[in-house]
Amino acid sequence: MTKEKYALGIDIGGTKICYGIVDASGNIISDVKKTPTPKTVQEIKDTLKNIIDENYDKIDVVGLSSAGAVNLENTRVLSSTPNLPAGYNSIDFSTLSDKKVYVENDANCAVMAEYKNGAAKGFRTVLMITIGTGIGGGVVSEGKLFRGSRGNALEVGSMKIFADKRQKCTCGRYDCWESYASGTGLRNCAIYGAKNYDEFKTSIFKDKSPDDLTTYDITDGVEKNDAFCKRVFNQWIYYMFVGLVSLTDIFNPDCIVISGGMCRFIDVEQMEKDINKETVVTDVKVKIAQTENRAGMIGAGVLALEQI
């Protein structure tokens, strides 16, 4: 019998670095430890080296989860990472240990974590959507991460849902899905609604300037049964639905997992019914993510174990 192998799963976040030892089934078999994310590149390297040294004898490989696009060799983060120090892209993670160090994008880690040991366990093709200020995505197909030619696939937030330049996106282009269906998108829906819906005149927010409306105002107003907020919210849900139907038609997943700060506002059972009514491919299950703040560690650990 071959000895089971273990990975050190490390999640590099903007405010903290979390780590734990992960097995190939996606279980964290140690305590999870946390340390604040240092403010300089050198301190980040030193911190990661110390974390690896502390666990060196117990692990076979190191998996890192990070924001940003990752190179094909899984050694560097290429794109800008606004929450991490300048120069972060210069780190060659493979030099941090003589054991193999594998870095992967956090959305990709998250979908692998949900597939292995979360809401999508037992499904074959899994699409994961993370809804926060933007929208991130990942796909696992038949157990394999779908990475694209350069590892940048599933930039679903940048998928265009209109062709007539209605809404400028924070990326500088027009009509990206995330400018309609993310947290920022809900606010954009509110601003549009305040200028165009009659219900705003009788809303609890009628005295606010449209540009001052927040995402929280709308979710709060829905709870208070405000007709304007409900119409804005339903429009936002419709934009969410439109993107999910397109992605279902493209990937034919048997499970969609939704995560992120905005996911608790979505009625996934209703969303599942609506998608299955509309899609041209076979039915899909829609679920809320389960691995949450463990997703980066689990996904990075599992993916690293596949490399050795």
Binding region for Zn ion (CB under 5 A): 158, 169, 171, 176
Smallest distance, Zn ion to C-beta of residue 134, A: 8
Contact 44, 85 (CB under 8 A): yes
- Which of residues 125 and 184 has its CB atom nearest to Zn ion in the complex? 184
- Which of residues 38 and 132 has its CB atom nearest to Zn ion in the complex? 132
Distance CA 291, CA 24 (A): 15
135 beta partners: 131
Contact 125, 142 (CB under 8 A): yes
Sequence-separated (6 or more) residues with CB below 8 Å from residue 220: 229
- Say how far residue 154 (Cα) sits from the centre of its chain: 10
Smallest distance, Zn ion to C-beta of residue 170, A: 6
CA angle, corner 114, sides to 55 and 308, nearest 5?
A: 45
Contact 48, 11 (CB under 8 A): no
Sign for the CA dihedral angle at 246, 251, 257, 260 comes to negative
Smallest distance, Zn ion to C-beta of residue 172, A: 7
- Which of residues 91 and 169 has its CB atom nearest to Zn ion in the complex? 169
- Which of residues 128 and 176 has its CB atom nearest to Zn ion in the complex? 176
Smallest distance, Zn ion to C-beta of residue 198, A: 30
- Which of residues 185 and 193 has its CB atom nearest to Zn ion in the complex? 185
- Which of residues 119 and 159 has its CB atom nearest to Zn ion in the complex? 159
For 180, left (φ over 0), alpha (ψ -120 to 50), or beta? alpha
Smallest distance, Zn ion to C-beta of residue 63, A: 29
DSSP string, 122-145: T-SEEEEEEESSSEEEEEEETTEE
Smallest distance, Zn ion to C-beta of residue 162, A: 12
Smallest distance, Zn ion to C-beta of residue 235, A: 19
- Which of residues 20 and 134 has its CB atom nearest to Zn ion in the complex? 134
Smallest distance, Zn ion to C-beta of residue 169, A: 3
- Say how far residue 29 (Cα) sits from the centre of its chain: 24
- Which of residues 107 and 176 has its CB atom nearest to Zn ion in the complex? 176
- Count of beta carbons in the 10 Å neighbourhood of residue 294: 22
Using CB atoms within 10 Å of the CB of residue 183, give its burial: 0 to 12 exposed, 13 to 18 middle, 19+ buried. buried
